[in-house]
Amino acid sequence: MDKGIIEKIKKEIQNFAPSAKKEGAGIVSFVGDGVAEIEGLQDLKLGEMLIFDTASDKALEDALDSEPVYGLALNLEEESVKAVILGEASAVKEGMTVKPAGKLLSVPAGEALLGRVVDTLGNPIDGKGPIKSDTFMALERDAYPVLDRQSVNEPLHTGIKAIDAMIPIGRGQRELIIGDRFTGKTTIAIDTIINQKYEAESKRPVCIYVAVGQKESKTARIVAKLQEEGAMDYTIVVSAPASASATLQYLAPYAGVAMAEYFMDRGQDALIIYDDLSKQAVAYRQVSLLLRRPPGREAYPGDIFYLHSRLLERAAKLSEKKGGGSITALPIIETQEGDVSAYIPTNVISITDGQIFLDASLFNKGLRPAIDVGNSVSRVGSSAQTKAMKKVGGSVRIELAQFRELEAFAQFAQDLDEATKERLDRGARMAELLKQNKNEPMPFYLQAIVMFAGNEGLFLTLELDKVSLAEKKWLQFVEANYNKTLERIKEEKAISETSEEELKQAMEDFKAANADLFE
User: Annotated catalytic sites, by residue?
Assistant: 379
Range 391-396 contact pairs with CB under 8 angstroms and sequence separation of 24 or more? 391/448, 391/452, 391/494, 391/495, 392/165, 392/448, 392/451, 392/452, 392/455, 392/495, 393/164, 393/165, 393/166, 393/168, 393/451, 395/455, 396/165, 396/166, 396/430, 396/434, 396/451, 396/454, 396/455
What is the rounded distance in angstroms from the CA atom of residue 352 to the CA atom of residue 178?
Answer: 12
For residue 9, the Cα-to-chain-centroid distance in whole angstroms is 47
What is the rounded distance in angstroms from the CA atom of residue 72 to the CA atom of residue 245?
Answer: 13
The residue ranges of DSSP E strands in 360-448, in sequence order, are: 377-378
Q: What is the largest CA-CA distance in the chain?
A: 96
Instruction: Return the closest-CA partner of residue 478 out of 427, 429, 514.
Output: 514
Residues contacting 43, CB < 8 A, separation 6+: 24
For residue 108, the Cα-to-chain-centroid distance in whole angstroms is 20
Taking the CA atoms of residue 218, residue 224, residue 226 and residue 232 in that order, the dihedral angle to the nearest 10 degrees is 110
> Are 244 and 251 a contacting pair, CB within 8 Å?
no
Burial track 416-446 (b if 16+ CB lie within 10 A, e otherwise): eeeeeeebbebbebbbbbbebeeeebbbbbb
| Phi, psi values for residue 174, rounded to 5° | -120, 105
Distances (CA, A) of 290 to 36, 81, 284, 287: 10, 13, 10, 5
